[in-house]
């Protein structure tokens, strides 16, 4: 229950942090909030010969909106800030709704958006939210910077597109089209536990009320955030009704998600949950799209 020995550095510039990572590669890990990394190190599931503490890089902690309506979230922004920020509430209501489900208040005080996304736990909320909201990810290294689309960022369990010398430094969320409604629901055994199943729904309706576009993204339903494209296709172009919602929920739950099961929930139970939660999320998202 105690971590193995490592060296520690706390660079005061981003350039210095990136130089250290370039020099040490996979032997070094960035330490941001530490709320996943430190327990993994305590259990000796994660090892590093060098921790590069980025908590001194205040320039990576911000929430701002660009002229073209994008929300820009600095990688060191804490979960608690996302939960309480008025810009996030107004322009990314899905994130505002989901953040209270991320662990406990004390964890949200420390945990960062960049850390959670780079950790890429398939049971975590933020990866699902960023896929549902079509986020872009800025990766920086001594070689320069590049933007990664959300569909390319998450590879598999705890694995992202980030190279060993790169740091995720910013997340960009595009503005939502008008008449778009979002909803996030999850089911966990206790408040703050990892959810057994969860879904983010984003729907856009036309002036005639028909669904123009839909996205359903699931957590704890596979090796990464699971974007149920077939279920979204069921909704597209159709007028929302309880029957249509049932059909989309069944397609996602029966044929798209791949829940792995655990001691607390069999895959069959997780699929059942997915169906129920999808109905609730879609109903709410369509209601919100109309108002």
Partner 1 sequence: MSELHTVKLKVNGQTYERQVEPRLLLSDFLRHELGLSGTHVGCEHGVCGACTILYDGVAARSCLMFAVQANGHTLATVEGLAPSESELHPLQQAFHEAHGLQCGFCTPGFLMTLVPFLKENHNPSEAEIREAISGNLCRCTGYQHIVDAVKLAAEKMK
Among 67, 144, 191, 207, binds partner 1 (CB under 8 A): 191
Contact flags string 27-66 toward partner 1, x per CB under 8 A: ----x--xx--xx-xxx-------x-x-x-----------
Q: Which of 2, 68, 243, 263 is in the footprint of partner 1 by CB under 8 A? A: 2
Binding partner 1 (rule: CB under 8 A), the pick from 75, 88, 98, 103 is 103
Task: Tell the smallest beta-carbon distance from residue 106 to partner 1 (Å).
Answer: 5
The residue among 188 and 236 lying less far from partner 1, judged by its C-beta, is 188
By CB atoms closer than 10 A (0-12, 13-18, 19+), residue 2 is exposed
Could you tell me if 26 and 52 are in contact, meaning their C-beta atoms sit under 8 angstroms apart? no
Residues in Cβ contact with 41 at an 8 Å cutoff, skipping those fewer than 6 apart:
3, 4, 47, 48
- Nearest approach in angstroms of CB 86 to partner 1 is 16
8 is a site residue for partner 1 (CB under 8 A) = yes
Q: Of 3-11, 122-130, 174-182, 270-278, which part binds partner 1 (CB under 8 A)?
A: 3-11
Q: Which of 14, 107, 244, 276 binds partner 1 (CB under 8 A)?
A: 107
Ranges within 10-29 binding partner 1 (CB under 8 A): 10
Of 102-110, 149-157, 171-179, 263-271, which segment contacts partner 1 by CB under 8 A?
102-110
Residues pairing with 217 in the sheet: 200, 227
Helices 267-290 and 242-251 sit at what angle, rounded to 10 degrees? Answer: 140
- Binding-residue total with partner 1 (CB under 8 A): 32
Identify the residue among 5, 144, 208, 243 touching partner 1 (CB under 8 A). Answer: 5
Q: Are 30 and 21 in contact (CB under 8 A)?
A: yes
Helices and strands (H, E) in the chain, number of each type: 12, 14
Q: Which of 36, 130 has the CB closer to partner 1?
A: 36
C-alpha separations of 126 from 51, 135, 245, 265 in Å: 23, 11, 25, 22
Query: Is 69 one of the binding residues for partner 1 (CB under 8 A)?
Result: no
**Kind of pairing, strands 136-141 and 7-9?**
unpaired
Q: What is the CA radius of gyration of the chain?
A: 19
Q: Does 263 bind partner 1 (CB under 8 A)?
A: no
Give the DSSP per-residue string, 8-69. EE--SSHHHHHHHHHHHGGGEEEESS-TTHHHHHHTTSS--SEEEE-TT-GGG--EEE-TTS
Asked if residues 80 and 105 have their Cβ atoms less than 8 Å apart, the reply is: yes
Our CB check for partner 1 shows the closer of 161 and 193 to be 193
Please list every residue from 131 through 160 that binds partner 1, using CB under 8 A. Answer: none
Instruction: Kindly list the residues in this chain that would bind partner 1 in the complex (CB under 8 A).
Output: 1-8, 10, 31, 34-35, 38-39, 41-43, 51, 53, 55, 80, 100, 103-107, 109-110, 190-192
């Amino acid at each position: 229950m105690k971590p193995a020995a490592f060296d520690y550095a706390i660079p005061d510039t981003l350039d210095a942090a990136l130089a250290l990572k370039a020099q040490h590669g996979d032997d070094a890990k960035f330490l941001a909030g530490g709320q996943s990394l430190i327990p993994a190190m305590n259990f000796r599931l994660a090892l590093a010969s060098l921790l590069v503490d980025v908590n001194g890089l205040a320039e990576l902690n911000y929430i701002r909106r660009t002229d073209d309506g994008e929300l820009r979230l600095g990688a060191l922004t804490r979960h608690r800030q996302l939960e309480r920020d008025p810009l996030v509430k107004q322009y990314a209501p899905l994130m505002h709704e989901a953040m209270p489900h991320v662990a406990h208040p004390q964890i949200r005080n420390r945990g960062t958006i960049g850390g959670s996304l780079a950790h890429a736990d398939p049971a975590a909320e933020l990866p699902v939210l960023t896929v549902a909201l079509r986020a872009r990810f800025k990766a920086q290294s001594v070689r320069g910077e590049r933007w990664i689309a959300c569909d390319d960022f998450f590879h598999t369990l705890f694995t992202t597109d980030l190279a060993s010398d790169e740091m995720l430094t910013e997340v960009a969320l595009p503005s939502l089209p008008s008449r778009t409604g979002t909803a996030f629901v999850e089911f966990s055994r206790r408040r703050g536990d990892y959810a057994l199943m969860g879904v983010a729904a984003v729907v856009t309706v036309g002036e005639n009320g028909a669904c123009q576009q839909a996205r359903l993204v699931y957590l704890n339903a596979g090796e990464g955030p699971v974007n149920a494209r077939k279920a979204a296709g069921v909704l597209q172009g159709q007028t929302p009704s309880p029957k249509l919602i049932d059909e989309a929920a069944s397609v996602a739950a029966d044929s798209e998600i791949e829940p792995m099961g655990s001691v607390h929930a069999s895959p069959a139970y997780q699929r059942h949950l997915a169906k129920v939660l999808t109905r609730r999320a879609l109903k709410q998202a369509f209601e919100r799209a109309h108002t």
